Amino acid sequence: MLIRHPTDIPPSEITPHSVYLNRRQFMLGSAGLLLPVASMAALPASKSRYSTTDKPNSRQDITSYNNYYEFGTSKDEPALYAGRLKTRPWTVAVGGEAGKPRSFSIEELLKFPQEERIYRLRCVEGWSMVIPWVGFPLASLLKQVDPTSRAKYVAFETALRPGEMPGVARRVLDWPYREGLRMDEAMHPLTILAVGLYGEALPGQNGAPVRLVVPWKYGFKSIKSISRITLLEKQPPTSWNMAAPSEYGFYSNVNPAVDHPRWSQASERRIGEFLKRKTLPFNGYADQVAGLYRGMDLVKNF
Ligand code: MTE
């Protein structure tokens, strides 16, 4: 996002996604890595009424075209390197303005009733995907720590493991990756912690073992491999806003009417499709979430 941008790249340099995938298959094949994946345990999940009816992208699309800068800034590096992150044991410390602060092990998180949530994901770079997540409402977790009346915001942090994350050697962002939500956004039923996709445990490149998914916001809000959640009275600093405050605001609601300073946000390319689609306000979730922002100037609060 900060390195090269759609508008900076001449069209002649852009590899069509299908060619890119074939090339990757070939690279993996020649490295001898294209072996059958060890069968992973299926995650039991009920269907959710919050799922979109849009056709999900393939598992191949979802797991080979990623942003996870801790493992490199190009789209194929997370799939190549994210497996280095040790995800067992794993704990998420939840504290701050909480009556009952505590840590949750990944085993405890997997015991929350899981749902399959098929959500659209709109990246700020101008592409989108449809992903069948497995997860549970963030609200279910936060209620267990008893937020105090001073808890107005929620801050999230990705684990920082320089020995396992080759990308953090470069100070592309001020590590650890940080994100935040207002308390009402965090408690909204659409906001989930995801522990899987396509019915199986989350692949490393998608944020194993647990990541946030906020479907009406640009994808960078959906922070991966979370190790800490802190309830706060004040709005927390966030990685992309710190890196480029004029380009990435705190709210980052998908908004076709507010252009990124260097490109339009009016349309998007769904990975796997040829023609562009119009971007929808709040990524198509306006009926459920527009009320959270009533009376706010969404041009100022971008
Ligand atoms: N979380 C961390 N820790 N580091 C990152 O670089 N990239 C974000 C978000 N979460 C990112 C992250 C961006 S820009 C996007 S678009 C989504 O992850 C991509 O999620 P996906 O790879 O599962 O599609």
| Average pLDDT over every residue of 101-111 | 98
Check whether 268 has a pLDDT greater than 90: yes
Check whether 260 has a pLDDT greater than 50: yes
CA gap 252, 185 in Å, rounded: 12
Number of domains in the chain: 1
Check whether 9 has a pLDDT greater than 60: no
pLDDT of residue 19: 52
Domain membership flag for residue 302 = no
CA gap 218, 280 in Å, rounded: 12
CA distances from 38 to 41, 56, 131, 133, 205 (A): 10, 23, 22, 20, 17
| Adjacent-strand bridge partners of 211 | 194
- Whether the CB of 250 sits within 6 Å of ligand 1: no
Alpha carbon nearest to ligand 1 atom 9, residue: 220
- Whether the CB of 223 sits within 6 Å of ligand 1: yes
Alpha carbon nearest to ligand 1 atom 8, residue: 220
pTM for the predicted model, two decimal places: 0.89
- Whether the CB of 63 sits within 6 Å of ligand 1: no
Distance 266 CA to ligand 1 centre (A): 21
Domain membership flag for residue 184 = yes
Domain membership flag for residue 288 = yes
Domain membership flag for residue 301 = no
Strand runs labelled E in 48-199: 91-96, 102-105, 115-122, 127-137, 153-158, 178-182, 192-197
| Average pLDDT over every residue of 79-108 | 98
CATH number of the domain within which 191 lies: 3.90.420.10
- Whether the CB of 238 sits within 6 Å of ligand 1: no
Residue range of the domain that includes 114? 6-293
Domain membership flag for residue 146 = yes
